[in-house]
């Protein structure tokens, strides 16, 4: 829990720094800010759980190895394979939690995150619009409304003028009623006009068109201080949606289809990584016997960086179509599982390479420098 909370906090802080303009310009309350961070947590928790599981097991066995507890247990007739029962049960529990986050938590979190951002953008749009005032902040064009219903947000007697169509043409929309609508799936906001007319002036000639309903897309990035929500991406979708999209064979965008396939495999591979990295951490802790805990944390993070680099390579190969997602994404798990099993065999045969001894010269130089 300490590893997971610490790593998750670091990730959320870095994410908060990236979104600082959004938080400051929208004048969010403490509760709204807390909700935004809470909704982002499942997306990052799926990545944090495997490294937390590995780090916990690694530090535990590193301490036991450094204190010669493993030697004492082996002298009592307890092999390394008997000691694996506890870590494997722990890794399995982490894996089940990661599967819950993968299958349900991500879709819940990102769905609520998008809904809250769109609600905030809608609220800001309502604040920007002032009745009886010519406004140019919302659409970047001239907008006037006689009155606004404070309960429904409906605008009455709306005039909207667009002079930026081209140099020789001016378009003016006049409607008795308008409203701001949000599309959560596409991450868009529209300014809807009803039962109005379009007055178009081109080179001194006037043309008039009637319409029942007219939609003008709002630039949501201006309302959200540069944050662009866009359409729902595969990493934000629920498990059922991803499976449905995979079964649609006539999808025109091949890269999007590849992303869906990669996301499906990722949702399964990362939870299983808890078990794989937990297995891998046991022999590696024996290899680095004698290393201090602070150095052990660095070693564990480097190992996870190697795993994530291999996983990122699988993402790129899968999305580009160079390899099937089932191969590219599971490649990292397969490599580390083989390394873990091979390491356990060496530990069982007491042929443990003392990798910690290789770090001693560097640690001595570091202490002298201090």
Confidence (pLDDT) at 366:
47
Structural domain contains residue 8: no
Q: Which of 111, 13, 80, 137 is nearest to 340 (CA)?
A: 80
Structural domain contains residue 133: no
Structural domain contains residue 134: no
Total domain count, the chain? 2
pLDDT of residue 225 exceeding 90:
no
pLDDT of residue 370 exceeding 80:
no
- pLDDT tens for 12-54 read 888 888 777 766 666 777 888 888 889 989 989 998 999 999 9
User: What residues form DSSP beta bridges with 175?
Assistant: 158
Residues 248 and 337 in one domain: yes
Confidence (pLDDT) at 29:
78
CA distances from 238 to 111, 319, 355 (A): 9, 19, 43
Residues 241 and 347 in one domain: yes
Structural domain contains residue 229: no
Residues 212 and 336 in one domain: no
Residues 248 and 170 in one domain: no
Confidence (pLDDT) at 187:
65
* 3-class state of residue 68 by DSSP: coil
Residues 210 and 238 in one domain: no
Q: Which of 333, 327, 21 is nearest to 341 (CA)?
A: 333
Residues 147 and 271 in one domain: no
Structural domain contains residue 367: no
What gap in Å lies between CA 199 and CA 172, rounded to an integer? 5
Confidence (pLDDT) at 90:
94
Q: Return mean pLDDT, the chain.
A: 80
Residues 247 and 309 in one domain: yes
Picking from 165, 184, 217, the residue at the C-terminal end of a domain is: 217
Question: For residue 192, what pLDDT band results from cuts at 50, 70 and 90?
Answer: confident
Residues 203 and 341 in one domain: no
Structural domain contains residue 222: no
Confidence (pLDDT) at 136:
66
Residues 145 and 272 in one domain: no
Confidence (pLDDT) at 363:
47
Structural domain contains residue 148: yes
Q: Higher pLDDT residue, 92 or 63?
A: 92
Residues 88 and 156 in one domain: no
CB 232 within 8 A of CB 114: yes
CB 322 within 8 A of CB 269: no
Confidence (pLDDT) at 100:
93
CB 227 within 8 A of CB 22: yes
- The domain in which residue 329 lies consists of 22-122+234-351
pTM exceeds cut of 0.85:
no
Residues 33 and 103 in one domain: yes
């Amino acid at each position: 829990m300490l590893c997971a909370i610490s790593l998750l906090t670091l990730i959320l802080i870095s994410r908060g720094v990236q979104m600082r303009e959004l938080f400051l310009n929208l004048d969010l309350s403490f509760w709204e800010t807390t909700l935004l961070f809470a909704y982002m947590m499942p997306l990052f928790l799926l990545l944090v759980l495997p490294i937390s599981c590995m780090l916990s097991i690694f530090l535990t066995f590193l301490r036991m190895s450094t204190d010669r507890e493993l030697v004492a247990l082996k002298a009592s007739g307890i092999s390394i394979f008997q000691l694996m029962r506890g870590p494997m049960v722990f890794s399995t529990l982490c894996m089940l939690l990661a599967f819950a986050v993968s299958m349900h938590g991500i879709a819940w979190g990102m769905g609520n995150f998008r809904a809250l951002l769109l609600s905030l953008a809608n609220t800001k749009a309502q604040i920007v619009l002032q009745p009886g005032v010519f406004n140019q902040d919302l659409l970047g064009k001239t907008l006037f409304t006689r009155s606004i219903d404070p309960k429904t947000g409906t605008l009455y007697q709306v005039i909207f003028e667009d002079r930026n169509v081209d140099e020789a043409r001016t378009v003016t929309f006049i409607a008795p009623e308008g409203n701001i609508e949000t599309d959560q799936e596409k991450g868009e906001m529209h300014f809807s006009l009803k039962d109005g007319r379009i007055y178009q002036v081109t080179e001194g000639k006037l043309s008039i068109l009637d319409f029942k309903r007219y939609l003008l897309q709002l630039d949501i990035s201006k309302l959200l201080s540069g944050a662009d929500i866009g359409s729902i991406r595969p990493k934000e979708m629920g498990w059922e949606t991803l499976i449905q999209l995979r079964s649609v064979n006539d999808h025109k965008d091949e890269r999007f289809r590849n992303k869906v396939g990669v996301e499906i495999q990722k949702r399964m591979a990362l939870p299983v990584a808890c078990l794989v990295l937990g297995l891998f951490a046991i022999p590696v802790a024996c290899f680095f016997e004698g290393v201090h805990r602070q150095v052990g944390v660095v070693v564990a993070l480097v190992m996870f960086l190697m795993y994530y680099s291999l996983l990122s390579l699988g993402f790129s190969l899968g999305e580009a179509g160079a390899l099937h997602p089932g191969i590219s994404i599971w490649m990292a798990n397969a490599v580390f599982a083989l390394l873990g099993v091979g390491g356990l065999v060496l530990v069982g045969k007491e042929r443990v390479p003392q990798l910690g001894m290789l770090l001693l010269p560097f640690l001595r130089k570091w202490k002298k420098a201090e």
